[in-house]
A and B are shown apart, each in its own frame.
Chain A
Amino acid sequence: MSFSVLAQSDISDAANTATAVLFYLFAIMAGGSAICVAVSRNIVRTAVALLFTLTGVAGLYFLLNAEFLAAVQLVVYAGGTLILIIFGVMLTSKSPFSRFEAKLGEVVIAMSLACVLLFALVMGIVRTTFATDEFPTGNYPIDRLGQVLLGDYLVPFEVVSVLLLAVMIGAAYLAKGRRREGEEGAARSGSLSRQAREWS
């Protein structure tokens, strides 16, 4: 009996170390690639760095036992939104390696604002005890999440359906509208796909 208790505590020690290691791993991944997103001037690299930021954040959610949120982060953001961004890059820019250039004045203003904000945030976060509840250990029961959606937060749940409907219609309209407007662009892509057929 005592042997199994010992083994249990060993495992939990190892798991704590693993949590710490994974936390720093994910934090560095999210933070570092977020810096890359901001600094990189190559739009494709920016998009790829964003992928790592989103995945890192998903990992942090996972460490907080918010598995559902982590899964949604991966499926919706890393899986869906990012693909959309990359398609956007592929669609719009003639040369995917286009660069952004900012004026010196803009950089100075942005940097000084960002520094003030960073200072306030770091000072604030370090010196504040947050009033949020202790996060539960163990997996968050998904059926309770369902209960919240059907109970306390029923209205947002139902309103989101209308919002999604509106977004769906809007997205469909924009896609349709663009195609009609860009007769020239459509012709070009048409000729491209024809070329592709010839090649294959």
Chain B
Amino acid sequence: MELLLSVTIFLTFGAVFVLANLVLGYFARPRIPNPEKATVYECGEPVIGSSWVQFDLRFYIVALVYLIFDVEVALFYPWAVAYGNAPALGDAIGMTTSTVRGVAIVDMLFFFGVLLVGFAYLWRFGYLDWVRSAATTSLKVEYQTGVDLRREARVLREV
């Protein structure tokens, strides 16, 4: 509960600090409008075009794969804590430390083993390579047998 209190104080203080400064600035600053001031700031250089361009699809793939690993990590965490606290946990539930750890290891081996296969598949066949996508798009007509996209990408880079 003390934690909650400190979080509330922190949030309140943060909000008040920012707002107060903005309000103070609003009253204190001189007003000299200028069209230059309304433009987008881009390291002092003139802006070319809009920033609403279509993103590269690769960002999406990376985000998608990231999300899956994210969920995995979320599921790993309680397991890891249970494994780390095995002595205390074992005492509380009447199991020895080694039994708790053994069970945890075996159960996790299945979970992780299955996921590892997927990860190995993505890695081996080049789904995680940043350069690959452009290479496979241009090479897709030629290549027939192999599905080793990384090799294709490497060939392209050497050329």
Contacts and interface: CB of A to CB of B under 8 A. Distances in A.
Contacts of A192: 53-54, 56
A11 B1 contact: yes
A41 interface: no
Nearest first, the 5 closest Cβ-Cβ pairs linking A and B are A146-B82, A15-B1, A146-B78, A18-B8, A175-B61
Contact of A158 (B4, B65, B107, B133): B107
A76 B70 contact: yes
B110 A161 contact: yes
A80 B112 CA distance: 21
A178 B56 CA distance: 12
A42 B60 CA distance: 21
A76 B75 CA distance: 11
Interface string B45-89: 000100011111101110111111011111101111111110011
Contacts of B83: 146
A179 interface: yes
Interface residues of B, number: 59
Nearest to A146: B82
A81 interface: yes
B67 A162 contact: no
Contact of B81 (A22, A142, A169): A142
B60 A158 contact: no
B2 A168 contact: no
B54 A94 contact: yes
A35 interface: no
Given A157-B107, A169-B121, A91 B65 contact: no
Contact of B57 (A11, A79, A94, A189): A189
Contacts of B104: 146, 150
Q: How extensive is the interface on chain A, given as a class? A: 35 or more
Interface string A149-184: 110001001101110110111011001101110010
Interface of A: 11-12, 14-16, 18-19, 21-22, 63, 68, 72, 75-76, 79-81, 83-84, 87-88, 90-91, 94-97, 142-147, 149-150, 154, 157-158, 160-162, 164-165, 167-169, 171-172, 175-176, 178-180, 183, 185-186, 188-190, 192-193, 199
B136 to A, nearest CB: 7
Contacts of A83: 63
Contact of B65 (A96, A142, A168): A168
Contact of B64 (A63, A175, A193): A175
Contact of A88 (B60, B68, B111, B136): B60
Contacts of A84: 60, 63-64, 67
Nearest to B86: A143
Contact of B75 (A79, A143, A160): A160
B137 A186 contact: yes
A29 B122 CA distance: 39
A64 to B, nearest CB: 11
Nearest to A193: B56
Nearest to B127: A172
Contacts of A15: 1-2, 4-5
